[in-house]
Structure 1
């Protein structure tokens, strides 16, 4: 199995949530929301590492994370890049005169390697500029062809094109422009009760619109005529599932799988490993994930990727999209495996809502009083893995336990500890 910190040397961890790989850089609001999750990357650090983050990390959060990792706080350098609209984070470093200080940090670490959240062109250019390799590329930095393939597969249309060649079962759908959107949606609604309108480059549920018969016009105001969309039938399903693959120089593997928690079509959490899914369905998800990984390997890609799908009541699987980057579950999985070891834990992520705003230290105290606070060496517990939320109420957490049943008990106790009825 692979980890986020495999191989020798130190890491320059680039939390480039502000990247054109997942959404257009003009989508400032959603990019800021995603950037709020950057503190979770602190869980990947080891002594000597550098973390480049778009949001500052509170003293309380740092005091919380480092002892649980067994890492001295002063052994990790943190570089904060101010919010820079319309610029990928890797380019924003130069805009704020942070490139030369970063170069000095890298020059003092001869074995440093870059670990970007999103493998976009700006991140690859930064690695070349710093003269360090990108994890886990054997030859240093991925070539232009690989970067183009990664960018294409992070679109809905690019995924559908590749999935069809690989024989993956897809919802019926079509790619179209904004000018064609209403006509294409109307045609599909003649055959299906409900369809999903998807911005071609979107992620995490952002940019999805669910439209039923009689709801036309499907999009108001109309989108730009030259914008790109995918319209698909809505597949009635009982489970939303995902598998995380990894491509290395010599093999493709499935690192883990799980069930996605969804809210209004948006990703709201994860529970791993998969359970109570027909074995044939789970095996098909594995085979599809490996097939996608083999395609990526042929394109020169190395690293993590995920395949998202839904399962109908009879166990029929439909592939929806892939994410060729480090996703919302990657850091959590790396954290869990680092703290507990492979194959020993069930784990989940989600958001627990407190009845009143709390400081970070207050939230931790509530966990401690409830017997939930996880420390290095524990076999189960709850971790607050993304610093204090802006509202002080919506706490992102990861729960670890030996069984799914025990995991459910921990989540119920977490909700009670924060003074709320559910997570």
Structure 2
């Protein structure tokens, strides 16, 4: 029996519009970031096992496929990969492939209504909750705040405005009290679409594309008008407004929700530069991160509420640890996340016991040299991943030079200091090879 893996992240941002889009409008992305998102779809390759079928929205690099398979101990020929340049993606053609490979389940990046209908057309089972657009509900920041508040989960003080005037009123109230606020679009990812407003102090926009200083109500109104200059008030995207905590650390936890309950598959810290550009896995539960355990407990409790609603699948829960030691949950997403492939790598290639004994640093948006010479250089420098001691560098995304700013790699080490040193050695090597 096999699995049909569908990386519909790329489809969502390259033109196939659904009524609800978790990534916002494609028009909002500048070209380099748009290319980066397109090739993120190749992360799905790390989930594939022999006999599986993958549907990817962009072309793949044959050498990269062979590299990922070899690391995991099987032949790339044992995978069936469908891309736009290899198959006319008609339902009939895909159904034939599904039948030929004895596929009995589907694993999409995001189980939205389009994928649910597509799955049924292939004769594969669809969970009832997602067939009724449940996964889309569980990617809404507005619904997150409602459910979190209803289950007494810790969330930042905030408001869901019904109009631009309503937003202006609440923002000015918080700024007048000396607080910063952050505006988040209901459906968006990675800090994109977010805006921070400060009553006077300059704020580094961690988790947002920019920060604005607003010293009076007039400047609040002007900032809102500028931020959504191209839309009428009735077309303004749904947003949430929250009190912003400068210098907070962004963390996450990933859970699997099944009929048997909730189990955690991994956790870590997001590297915001200023929006997400990598991860530290796992959360370092030392004195500095002493509140990390409290976050994990609260995230698991909220995941339990989602499981009782009927959702089955992966759920990521994000949060922050404030500079004052506070813990807040900030959103959840019922889909594969930016960390899911990392935990797949950690759980299959690195983990030897339930307690983690390695650190992973994930680095994104890299301009890589060709994969073959790059791996040879890593090997010559003693940096390539060593399965015996479970440390080294793994190239997690490489598009074969078809795009730019699209490569990703991770380093795995025994501790954070070693991981940071290894990461610096890799970035130095990339610069040297690109010169």
TM-score range, shorter chain: 0.7 to 0.9
Q: SS at the partner of 1:112?
A: strand
1:31, CA displacement in angstroms?
6.2
8 Å CA contact 1:185–1:195 kept in 2: the answer is yes
Pair 1:109 & 2:101 matched: yes
The residue number in structure 1 matching 2:156 is 171
Kindly indicate whether residue 226 of structure 2 is the aligned counterpart of residue 218 of structure 1.
no
> 2:112: which partner in 1?
120
> SS of the residue aligned with 1:240?
strand
* 2:384–2:392 contact (8 Å) kept in structure 1: yes
| Distance in 1 separating the partners of 2:278 and 2:67 | 22
Contact 2:175 2:181 in 1 (8 A): yes
Give 1:233 deviation, angstroms.
1.4
Give RMSD over aligned pairs: 2.5
Deviations 1:104-157 (A, max 9, x none): 111123343110011111111122111223xxxxxxx22157744422221111
Match of 1:51 among 51, 54, 57: 54
Match of 2:391 among 356, 380, 398: 380
Rounded Cα–Cα distance in structure 2 between residues aligned with 1:109 and 1:384:
28
Cα pair 2:5 2:52 within 8 Å, conserved:
yes
Distance 1:201 1:48, change over 3 A: same
After the TM superposition, list the runs of 4 or more consecutive aligned residues in structure 1 that deviate by more than 6 angstroms: none
Contact 1:38 1:54 in 2 (8 A): yes
> Are the equivalent residues in 1 in contact too, given 2:265–2:343 (CA < 8 A)?
no
Q: Secondary structure at the match of 2:397?
A: coil
Q: Pick one of 345, 351, 373 that aligns with 2:358.
A: 345
Q: TM-score, normalised by structure 1?
A: 0.84
Q: Does 1:23 align with 2:1?
A: no
Task: Report SS of the residue matched to 1:419.
Answer: helix
CA distance in 2, matches of 1:255, 1:161: 25
- Say if 1:53 and 1:25 are closer, same or farther in 2 by CA, change over 3 A: farther
More moved, 53-62 vs 175-184: 175-184
Deviation at 1:367, TM superposition (A): 1.6
Unpaired stretches in structure 1, ≥5 consecutive residues: 1-8, 83-92, 134-140
Contact in 2 for aligned 1:10/1:109 (Cα 8 Å): yes
Are 1:365 and 2:371 an aligned pair? no
Identify if the C-alpha distance between structure 1 residues 338 and 21 changes in structure 2 by more than 3 Å, giving closer, same or farther.
farther
1:77 CA displacement: 0.9
CA 1:254–1:21: 2 relative to 1, 3 Å = farther
1:204-243 deviation digits (Å, cap 9, x = unpaired): 1111111223253223143442321111111123421111
Q: Confirm whether residue 152 of structure 1 aligns to residue 137 of structure 2.
A: yes
Whole-Å Cα distance in 2 between the matches of residues 125 and 165 of structure 1?
31
Q: Give the direction of change, closer, same or farther, for the CA distance of 1:146–1:12 in structure 2 (3 Å limit).
A: closer
Q: Distance in 2 between matches of 1:382 and 1:345?
A: 13
* Count of residue correspondences: 390
**Alpha-carbon distance change, 273 to 147 in structure 1, aligned in 2, over 3 angstroms:** farther
Give, in whole Å, the separation in 1 of the partners of 2:405 and 2:291: 37
Contact 2:53–2:101, Cα closer than 8 Å, also in 1: no
How do residues 270-309 of structure 1 correspond to structure 2 at under 5 angstroms?
270-275=279-284, 276=286, 281-309=291-319
Q: Secondary structure at the match of 1:46?
A: coil
For 1:33 and 1:393, locate their aligned partners in 2 and report how far apart those are by CA, in whole Å: 6
Write out aligned runs for 1:63-82 (5 A).
Answer: 63-81=66-84
8 Å Cα contact 2:295-2:328 kept in structure 1: no
**Partners in 1 of 2:289 and 2:374 — Cα distance?**
40
Q: Does 1:399 align with 2:407?
A: no
- 1:403/1:279 CA distance change after superposition, 3 Å: closer
SS at match of 2:150: helix
Q: Look up the SS of the partner of 1:187 in the other structure.
A: helix
Deviation of 1:409 after TM superposition, in Å, equals: 2.6
Q: CA deviation at 1:71?
A: 1.8
Matched, 1:100 2:86: no
Q: 1-side partners of 2:192 and 2:365: how far apart?
A: 21
After superposition, the Cα gap between the structure-2 partners of 1:234 and 1:390, relative to the gap in structure 1 and judged at 3 Å, is farther
Partner of 1:41: 44
Q: Matches of 1:13 and 1:412 in 2, distance apart?
A: 34
TM-superposed CA distance for 1:21, in Å, is 4.8
